[in-house]
Structure 1
Amino acid sequence: MKRVTTTIRIDEEKARLLRALAGYEGRKINDILNELIDEYIKRHKETLELLSIPNFLEECQKGLEEIKRGGGKKLDELDD
């Protein structure tokens, strides 16, 4: 896996707390940040997959507009 270097900007207080926690746990800040990024990607993976479906976003927007106009079906009108 190729690694890249990047710079992030966080509040001074958050950085201080992060350094303290990393020191307490005996971990590198880089490892903590990578873990957090992995969790974030995992939580949003389904969204990324849905957005990769051709015309998915446009269909959702059309559906929302239809609902705003009073269209669509009620839950009890949907098939089981």
Structure 2
Amino acid sequence: MSSTVMIPEDKRDTLNVIATIEKRDINEILSELIDDYIDRHKETLEILSQPEWVDAITEGLSSSERKETVSWRRKKSGK
């Protein structure tokens, strides 16, 4: 599958210079960058796919805004 991505001219020029210096295809560099980006976000996606963790995070943020604390043992046991 092929997609078109618009890259600002200054960034494209910089990528072209890097690709030339490294003797690599720019598509190879972009694919590597995308893989790195996806890898950095996998853990977040895994957490967000678990509703109970999203609920716990939301509760923790709300408690924090109210200057309250939530006991980890209480939260872990579901109480």
Calculate the TM-score normalised by the size of structure 1. Answer: 0.75
Query: 1:48 & 1:31 partners in 2: Cα distance?
Result: 25
**Please, which of 2, 5, 8 is the counterpart of residue 8 of structure 1?**
5
What amino acid maps onto 2:43 in structure 1?
A: E
The list of structure 1 runs, each at least 4 consecutive aligned residues, that deviate by more than 3 angstroms after superposition, is none
2:61 aligned with 1:64, yes or no? yes
Cα distance in structure 2, aligned partners of 1:19 and 1:70: 50
The alignment covers a number of residue pairs equal to: 71
Name the structure where helix makes up a greater proportion of residues.
Answer: 2
Report the Cα distance in structure 2 between the residues aligned to 1:9 and 1:33, rounded to whole angstroms: 12
1:46 aligns with 2:43: yes
Whether the 8 Å CA contact 2:63–2:69 is kept in 1: the answer is: yes
Q: How far did residue 51 of structure 1 move?
A: 0.9
Task: Give RMSD over aligned pairs.
Answer: 1.7
Aligned-pair identity (%): 44
Using structure 2 for the length normalisation, give the TM-score: 0.76
Using the alignment, how far apart are the partners of 1:10 and 1:58 within structure 2?
Answer: 37
> Which runs of 5 or more structure 2 residues have no equivalent in the other structure?
72-79
The runs of 5 or more residues in structure 1 that have no matched partner are: 75-80
Q: Which has the higher contact order (CA 8 A, sep 6+)?
A: 2
